[in-house]
Amino acid sequence: MSADKTQPLWGMVIDLDRCTGCQACVVACKQENNVPFSSREEAAYGREISWIRVMAVTEGEFPKVKIRYMPLLCQQCDAPPCTRVCPTRATYKNPQGIVGQIYPRCIGCRYCANACPYQVKYFNWYNWSHFRWPAEMRESLNPDVSLRPKGVIEKCTFCHHRLQHAREQAAIEGRPVESTDFVPACVSSCPARAMVFGDLRDPESTVHKLAASPRAFRMLEDLGTEPKVVYLKEGEWNATTGG
């Protein structure tokens, strides 16, 4: 856990029982964070950028088949493997526990992308922002998020720009930042209300309570990465009680 106990520990809970795999979070994230879109060829190369994507794993054989949907974003590890291998300290964990990426420092070596067990760090293969977006579409770029040049790694920041805005707002009001002050774009959009965001350290917060659920698990937590994204596994219908 982060050393500075006075800061909120931002975390997310994703209830897989509610999640329908619709990918509203995926599109909301791309629109909010000026993530470029791919082409058919680029997507086929695996070069599409998607800070949050929905994994859909098909399990079983016909007729007993199940798809498990799982939104996968940076797990904002408290012990992130990616920051340790960065030769230029372009990627680092900030005092709020968010794993950041300083684009001008990044030399595009992709060590961090390879070190990440969740495969959620993305390399910019193309000069998207200069050539890809038609002039009309550039109108919808978000001024709060910088455009990434070709050759750097980019990743989910828990919509850090929204946190900055929340902190400015709290400072104006002369109070500390609270658990409910901001949510990332993915959480805000989620039509199934499957995603919850807040201060994991605050015992009154919804995320704190949900993270203690018996359904809660963290992805690949045995690696010691200490993820701050918590998943709740799907519920099951009880055939004897009918509930």
Partner 1 sequence: MEVSRRKFLQLTVVSTAGVALGDGGTQLGNVLQASEQEERVPNGVEQWLRTTCTLCPGGCGARVRLIDTRAVKLDGNPLHPVTRGGLCPVAEAALQLVYSPDRLTEPMLRVGGRGQGEWQPLSWERALQILADGLRSHRDKEGAETLLLVLGRSHGLAPELLRRFAHAYGTPEVLELTSGDPAADALWLTQGIRTTPAYDLENAHYVLSFGVPLVDGWHGPVRQMLALAEMRQATPGHRGKLVQLEARLSPTAAKADEWIPLAPGTEGALALGIAHVLVAEGFYNPAFVAERTFGFEDSTDAAGNRQPGFRSMVLEQYAPARVAQITGVSEETIRRLATEFARFGPALAIGPIGGHSNAVESALAVHALNALVGGIESVGGVLVPPVPVFPELPPVDPDPKAREGLASAQRSPGDALLPLNGRVANLAPWLERLSDVTKVLLLWDANPLFSDPEAKRCHEALEKIPLIATIAPFLDETAAFADLVLPESTFLESWDVLDSAPGLPDQLVGLTQPALAARGQAKSAGEIVLALARELGGSIGAAFPWESMEQVVRAKVDGLVRDAQGGVFPEAAAAQGNEAAATPDYESPDALWQDLLNRGGWSGRPREYGNWRRALQTRSGKYEFSSQNLRDAITAAVPREPMRALLKTFDADFTDPRLLLPHYSTPLPEDVDGFPLRLLLFRTLALGAGEHANQPFLQEIVAPHVNVQWDSWAELNPVTAASLQIADGDWIWLESPHGRIRVRAKLWPGIVPGAVALPLGQGHTAVGQYARGTGANPIALLSATRDPLSGAAVLSARVRVTRA
Task: Scan residues 194-213 and list those touching partner 1 (CB under 8 A).
Answer: 194
Site membership for partner 1, residue 193 (CB under 8 A): yes
Token representation of residue 50: 């998607």
Does the protein bind partner 1 through residue 53 (CB under 8 A)? yes
Q: What is the DSSP letter of 35?
A: P
Of 147 and 223, nearer to partner 1 (C-beta) is 147
Is 119 a binding residue for partner 1 by CB under 8 A? The answer is no
Is 129 one of the binding residues for partner 1 (CB under 8 A)? yes
Report the relative pairing of strands 64-72 and 53-61 from DSSP bridges. Answer: antiparallel
Give the integer Cα–Cα distance in Å for 223 and 220: 6
Kindly state the smallest distance separating residue 238's Cβ from partner 1, in Å.
Answer: 7
- In the complex, least distance from residue 7 CB atom to partner 1, rounded to whole angstroms: 26
Residue from 3, 6, 61, 222 binding partner 1 (CB under 8 A): 61
Amino acid at 43: A
Question: With CB under 8 A as the contact rule, which of the stretches 93-101, 138-146, 204-212, 222-230 interacts with partner 1?
Answer: 138-146
CA-to-CA distance for 29 and 215, rounded, in angstroms? 26
Q: Are 17 and 213 in contact (CB under 8 A)?
A: no
Residue number with CB closer to partner 1 (136 or 222) = 136
DSSP string, 214-234: TTEE-TTGGGS---SEEEEPP
Among 3, 62, 172, 203, binds partner 1 (CB under 8 A): 62
Burial 198-213 (b: 16+ CB within 10 A, else e): bbbbbeebebbebbee
> According to the binding rule CB under 8 A, does residue 154 interact with partner 1?
no
Residues 9-48 that bind partner 1 (CB under 8 A): 17-18, 20-24, 26-28, 30-32, 34, 37-40, 43-44, 48
Which residue number, 94 or 127, has a Cβ lying nearer to partner 1?
127
CA distance 55 to 221: 18
Rounded Cα gap, residues 24 and 195, in angstroms: 11
Sheet holding 229-232, edge to edge: 195-199, 10-15, 229-232, 216-217
Nearer to partner 1, 1 or 137 (CB): 137
Q: Closest distance between partner 1 and the C-beta of residue 81, in Å? A: 23
**Residue 93 binds partner 1, judged by CB under 8 A:** no
Shortest spacing between CB 34 and partner 1, in angstroms: 7
* 85 part of the interface to partner 1, by CB under 8 A: no
